[in-house]
Structure 1
Amino acid sequence: MALSRTIVIAGAGIGGLTAALALAARGFRIVVLEKAERLEEVGAGLQLSPNASRVLVELGLAERLKERAVTPEAVSIMSARAGGELLRMPLGEAASLRAGAPYWVVHRADLQSMLADAVSDHPDIDLKLGATFEDVAPHAKGLTVVHRSGTIRRSDLASALIGADGIWSTVRQHLFPEVQPRFSGLIAWRGTLDATQLPKDYTARRVQLWMGRNAHLVAYPIAGGRQINVVAVLPGTWNRPGWSTPGDRREVMDAFAAPHWPASARMMLATVDSWRKWALFGVPDGCPWSNGPIGLLGDAVHAMLPFAAQGAGMAIEDAAVLARHLSLETAESTADITAALTQYGRARQARVRRVQRTARQQGRIYHFTGPLAVARDLAIRALGPDRMLARQDWIYNWRP
């Protein structure tokens, strides 16, 4: 008997929804299970560099995204030690022409909402909200995926299951219970502010990266430029799971106190009325990507520190590569599905590990103090904007 053409995806985050669209374009019927009753605003802004935006454009989502995304003109690399800008790396048209795809910044909730709208419009995708993945059982006809909605248990017959259910993945726990997220010792604080609250030169369409003593700060426009997304990263011991725990603004202001942080950075932080914090965890390098006809995607298999701005980008890339390896024509048996998922993992491992290492390294560089900070600032100035942008080519020029 032929396998079901249904693939079940656990998780309706950025990676799961992108995978649903990419796999549906290959002819599969997709069921997306999302435990939340509704898709609410969680997380912070995110950056979609050309390697990620290219995938979304090829899925036909460019017009939807243009309505919600902002194209930053540059990244301003700022040093708290030096008191201001070290270098302005061009983005916008320069990055788009160089990589052949746009560079966008967008609120995570806006991107998720846009993807969910596209999923809802697709006749071969069924998005089930309030549906919690519980179990999966292999058999001769493929897989039976069990999920719960309230008190009601249901099941779907599928040829494959993809766990795109985040860093605390239930699917990964089912497959590889020995793989547990690890706390990085860092906490990210997130806030937004109305762009009209800052002087005009603070609200230009650019990404600001402030590097300082044992801390750093990132700010960029979202919501069509009407808001500024601010993320401050600090060391700490608080390590509860979650994206949106309320935070005390005094902790942020104390950590970014003068004289170690200039007035311009402090003014931006002081304008944020409400802070949310989340502990930064990662999945250890070397987590397996699949087992039989069950695979993992995005944070479920490679959650990483955000210091390369590639967390969402890697999940979007995963979705494109997964769809490249899975097709109705080559998925006629469980052995075919298993082989395709194995190939998918092999195709992704080396690149993802390099991005993970880069993120960890950049986080350390951002927090340098003393002579190391002086040397860092001098090296960045010496590189210049064009060579700094060229250093991103290996990330931005990726194609599925």
Structure 2
Amino acid sequence: MTSPDSGDQTVLIAGAGIGGLTAALALGRTGRPVTVLERRTKVEEVGAGIQLSPNASRLLIDLGLGPALSRAAGEPKRLVIRNGESGRTLAEMPLADAMRQRYGAPYYVVHRADLQTILLDAVRGLPNVRLQFGRTVSSVDTEGDGVTVAVETASGPETARGALLIGADGLWSRVAAAIGDHTEADFTGYVAWRATIPVGDVPPLFQKPETGLWLGPGAHIVHYPIRGGQVVNVVAIMKDREAERGWSRPGDAETQRRRFRNWAPELSGLLSRMDQWLVWSLFDRGPRETWTSGRVVLLGDAAHPVLPLLAQGGALAIEDVAVLSRELARTPGDVPGALRAYEARRRPRAKRVQAASRANATNYHLSGPFGLVRNVVLGRLSGTRLIDRYDWLYGWKPEAD
């Protein structure tokens, strides 16, 4: 690459997850050269779905991904909240048409691998974007009008240079550490078990085009159809004492069945048919003290991890990209100033989403009298009143930030 002080405008992005690829697409579409550095030798997402609420789907559609998303993603007709132990329906919230009418964008559910493929195809279609795999950031040096990044590869060290570096490398961000933030994330005491199963192998209740949320003491389960309704994605979040980094270690199906053996028969029937699980220990941390240092900036979980109890981890990273690209376009001659403006605009939003997600970790898992009160309150809410609670979340647009 050319030296940064020769006028190079290359954007370096560490991480080829949802946030990193969305950033590559958004900035690459402006004509800027972009290089994505990914530590993995290939990008693959297995065994999990992702929900794209209107605040995220509208941004991806604006980036030209609407047709591809409409083919790969589904739109559940409603959210049904049930008592995990009795199976009784507590509340329902319309999705699909209601989301489009109210927020002007769909509420999608999609397999992560499909979303990753859509983003990769779009990025690879841009001649000014380079994807480099098997490269791990080891150090960062901000010098003058550019950034120099030392990169570890299987064949030896390399150096990448550009006008700025975006750290989209997740909860255990190497970029954050490289700019001096070594804050460790803490284990929450919860783990997420994730699995998919062919729709033909599940009981009729789980074949419906809807999202299900089952609440119970110390745990909850979410399920929804993906891949054209041919597969059901299931996520169970529950307490656990053991923690391990990563989000794809195998889980013992029998352990899972024992954990939920006293829950509703319908749910136990579903779990009895599922044999392959991936387990993800949930770590958490508040927003870092700063997301920027000179020409280096963090986004997504690298800046503000979000527990998967509000379905907003990927969405918040996509929002970050929208604001970051906008600030860079506003002041192209002042990159550090644009990065600081991005952080100032995003920090309050990120903190609010983090807090709401953590609150769900408590509310979803209430037991005894507190659980009964929660169920009564939910039972008194109409679908419209439930949606009202999410206006601040789903109705977000960059202009309102």
User: Match for residue 265 of structure 2?
Assistant: 263
> 1:310-349 maps to which residues of 2 (within 5 A)?
310-327=312-329, 330-332=331-333, 336-349=334-347
Q: Judge conservation of contact 1:283–1:301 (CA < 8 Å) in 2.
A: no
The residue that corresponds to 1:77 in the other structure is 81
Are 1:308 and 2:310 matched, yes or no?
A: yes
Deviation at 1:2, TM superposition (A): 6.2
Provide the C-alpha distance between the structure 2 equivalents of 1:92 and 1:176, rounded to a whole number of angstroms.
44
**Counterpart AA for 1:177:** D
Equivalence for 1:363: 361
CA contact (8 A) 1:213 1:368 kept: yes
Compare 9-18 and 303-312 and name the one that shifted more: 303-312
Displacement of 1:176: 3.3
Partner Cα separation in structure 2 for residue 324 and residue 285 of structure 1? 21
1:238 maps onto 2:242 in alignment:
yes
Give the Cα separation in 2 of the matches to 1:71 and 1:118: 22
Query: Which of 224, 227, 234 pairs up with 2:228?
Result: 224
- State the shift of 1:29 in Å: 0.9
Q: Tell me the residue number matched to 2:154.
A: 150
User: What do residues 111-144 of structure 1 show as CA deviations (whole Å, max 9, x unaligned)?
Assistant: 1111011111111111111122222222224111
2:142 and 2:294 in contact (8 A); partners too: no
| Structure 1 contact 75–91 (Cα < 8 Å) conserved | yes
Q: Distance in 2 between matches of 1:122 and 1:143?
A: 23
Name stretches of at least 5 consecutive residues in structure 2 with no aligned partner: none
Find the counterpart in structure 2 of residue 280 from structure 1.
282
Structure 2: distance between partners of 1:124 and 1:228:
38
1:112-123 residue pairs with structure 2 within 5 A? 112-123=116-127
Q: Which amino acid aligns with 1:343?
A: A
Number of the residue aligned with 1:46: 50
Q: Which amino acid aligns with 2:190?
A: L
Summarize the alignment of residues 21-36 of structure 1 with structure 2, pairs less than 5 Å apart: 21-36=25-40
Whole-Å separation in 1 of the counterparts to 2:274 and 2:292: 42
Alignment of 1:378-393 (within 5 A): 378-393=376-391
Deviation at 1:81, TM superposition (A): 4.1
Q: TM-score, normalised by structure 2?
A: 0.95
Contact 2:47 2:278 in 1 (8 A): no
Q: CA deviation at 1:54?
A: 0.6
Match of 2:16 among 12, 27, 46: 12
Alignment match of 2:112 (pick from 96, 108, 111): 108
1:93 aligns with 2:97: yes
Partners of 1:12 and 1:398 in 2: CA distance: 25
Question: Given that residues 138 and 178 in structure 2 are in contact (C-alpha distance below 8 angstroms), is that contact kept between their aligned partners in structure 1?
Answer: no
Distance 1:30 1:220 in 2: 35
User: 2:256 corresponds to which residue?
Assistant: 252
What SS does structure 2 have at the residue aligned with 1:134? strand
Q: Aligned equivalents of 2:183 and 2:89: distance in 1?
A: 41
TM-score normalized with structure 1 length: 0.95
Asked if structure 2 preserves the Cα contact closer than 8 Å seen for 1:42 and 1:243, the reply is no
| 1:286-297 alignment runs, 5 A limit | 286-297=288-299
Does the 8 Å contact 1:50/1:103 carry over to 2? yes
More divergent stretch after superposition (5-14 vs 20-29) = 20-29
Question: What SS does structure 2 have at the residue aligned with 1:306?
Answer: coil
Contact 2:136/2:151, CA 8 A, preserved across alignment: yes
Q: CA RMSD in A?
A: 1.4
Q: CA deviation at 1:5?
A: 1.1
Dislocated runs of 4+, deviation >6 Å: none
Partners of 1:14 and 1:238 in 2: how far apart? Answer: 28
Contact 1:283 1:302 in 2 (8 A): yes
Q: Which amino acid aligns with 2:282?
A: L
Q: Displacement, 1:43?
A: 5.8
SS at match of 2:380: helix
Q: Separation in 1 of the partners of 2:194 and 2:180?
A: 31
2: CA distance, partners of 1:271 / 1:80: 18
The structural deviation recorded for 1:152 is 3.1
Aligned length: 394
Superposition deviation, residue 3 in structure 1: 3.6
Asked if the contact 1:26–1:323 (Cα under 8 Å) also holds between the matched residues in 2, the reply is: no
1:193 alignment partner, one of 197, 212, 224: 197
